[in-house]
Amino acid sequence: MVGAWIWNRNKERVETCSAKAVVLATGGAAKVYQYTTNPDVSSGDGIAMAWRAGCRVANLEFNQFHPTALYHPQARNFLLTEALRGEGAHLKRPDGTRFMPDFDERGELAPRDIVARAIDHEMKRLGVDCMFLDISHKPEAFVRQHFPMIYEKLLGLGIDLTKDPVPVVPAAHYTCGGVMVDDNGRTDVDGLYAIGEVSYTGLHGANRMASNSLLECLVYGWSAAEDITRRLPLAQKVATLPAWDESQVEIPDELVVIQHNWHELRLLMWDYVGIVRTTRRLERALRRITMLQQELDEYYARFRVSNNLLELRNLVQVRSLSYAARCCVRRAAVCIIPSTIRSRCLTAARRYSRPWLT
């Protein structure tokens, strides 16, 4: 390990940093979906960079979806806690009727994968953009006392939690796969570490138990820091990393291409590689993703890099999505993801219980 080229978002330029050890703590890749609870930087950068450097990655097809995120044209999706349903909130169709009892005897208290799948099913069946979460039957004082932050945030968007049904959609929430690491956070490249959601430690399978990711960050972050401290005195002198060279590229004059590809990719992933997956949809997605990758190869080689280009390239070009789709196709034509498993695929799922490596 000799260092890294780092994109400075504030100065909009690439900076060169030499180092004996590099730690990837870049989060997951949920930005690739149309609806996500993740911040804007969750674009799979660390996974892509590690893959380019020669690291193995695993289980990238497993993405956890949270069942209830706000659906609002003028606001970013944000998570509406499951505690709302725990305190009695009902999920309803646009006509005001409940639907969860049709899917599970536990109703709104069913596990999040069942709830997310039910919401997705009803949205597709009715051809609507969202379902509704309604806790207006509870006393106003109760709602405001138990959910003060959500109440205030929604009120700022013109939604009164104590009176109005809240429009919700399932949203990509957690990337269960990532860069393979050992117990110290080491990847396959000497001096390169990965911690947090960017990594694959084996602590999460096709799903993630609540709060396990926090413990994973703490334990592996501490282990990586101790390992780096222990090994640094023994590391050889770092070779000089060449400065980033932009002498052969042009300033882009068609940024609309990147914007269009971003929009297309997020819709494609949501519709074809989302909560419910089929072989036909996955194969179609794989063909289009491969085409996008070729287009981005040409664009990246010709033009000066930008934040959007780097993030899009990291999601598409390095096959973090292509291989996820391929894995899903090879897993016996299933739509297995942490929040979904079709009944006809249960037997196949047991056959493919080990991590899927790339």
- Quick one: three-class SS letters along 273-318? CCCCCCHHHHHHHHHHHHHHHHHHHHHHHHECCCHHHHHHHHHHCC
Report which of 13, 55, 3 is spatially closest to residue 318, judged by C-alpha positions.
55
Residue 99 tokens, joined: 């639907």
Please report the sign of the dihedral spanned by the C-alpha atoms of residue 337, residue 112, residue 281, residue 31.
negative
Predicted confidence band at 59 (pLDDT cuts at 50, 70, 90)?
Answer: confident
In the predicted structure, residue 289 carries a pLDDT above the cut 80: yes
pLDDT score for 355: 60
Cα–Cα distance, 10 to 19 (Å, whole number): 22
Question: Token match 């979460």: residue?
Answer: 133
Cα distance from N-terminal residue to C-terminal residue, the chain: 21
91: closest CA among 169, 152, 145, 171? 169
User: 3-state class of 183 per DSSP?
Assistant: coil
**Domain spans of the chain, in order of start:** 3-62+176-231+246-350, 65-173
Instruction: List the catalytic residue out of 85, 112, 208, 281.
Output: 112
28 contacts 194 by C-beta, under 8 angstroms: no
| 349 pLDDT more than 60 | no
251 or 126, which is more confident:
126
Predicted pLDDT of residue 337: 47
Task: Identify the weakest region by mean pLDDT among 178-182, 234-238, 241-245.
Answer: 234-238
Quick one: pLDDT band at residue 352, thresholds 50, 70, 90?
A: very low
Determine the pLDDT at residue 91. Answer: 98
pLDDT tier, 335 (very low <50, low <70, confident <90, very high otherwise): very low
- Measure the CA–CA gap between 37 and 25, rounded to whole angstroms: 18
* Prediction pTM value: 0.86
Determine contact, residues 21/2, Cβ cutoff 8 Å: no
pLDDT band at 239 (very low <50, low <70, confident <90, very high): confident
DSSP element (H, E) containing 24: strand 22-24
Dist. CA 44–CA 30, nearest whole Å: 8
CA distance 109 to 106: 5
Establish whether 208 is a catalytic residue: no
Percent of the chain whose pLDDT exceeds 70 = 88
Mean pLDDT for 127-143 is: 96
For residue 293, the tally of other CB atoms under 10 A from its CB is 17
Does residue 334 surpass a pLDDT of 60?
no
What is the rounded CA–CA span in Å between residue 136 and residue 108? 15
Distances from the Cα of 310 to the Cα of 27, 281, 314, angstroms = 15, 27, 6
CA distance 64 to 110: 16
Our CA angle for 207, 211, 213, nearest 5°, is: 65
Q: HSE (CB half, 13 Å, CA atoms) of 264?
A: 14
Pick among 3.30.530.20, 1.10.238.10, 3.40.50.2030, 3.90.700.10: CATH of 65-173: 3.90.700.10
pLDDT score, position 36: 92
C-alpha 337/C-alpha 277 separation (Å) is 9
**CA atoms within 13 Å, Cβ hemisphere of 45:** 18
What pLDDT shows up at residue 319? 57
**If you average pLDDT over residues 199-203, what whole number do you get?**
90
**pLDDT above 90 for 234:** no
Residue type, 106: R
Closest CA to 38 of 29, 46, 47: 29
Determine the pLDDT at residue 324: 57
- Side chain identity at 115, as an amino acid letter? V
Task: Taking residues 279-296, report their average pLDDT.
Answer: 87
Mean pLDDT of 268-273: 89
Largest CA distance in the chain: 68
Of 63-72, 285-294, 310-319, the least confident = 310-319
Residues 266 and 281: their CA atoms lie apart, in Å, by 14
58 touches 203 (CB < 8 A): no
Q: Report, at the CATH architecture level, how domain 3-62+176-231+246-350 is classified.
A: Up-down Bundle (1.20)
CB atoms within 10 A of CB 346: 11
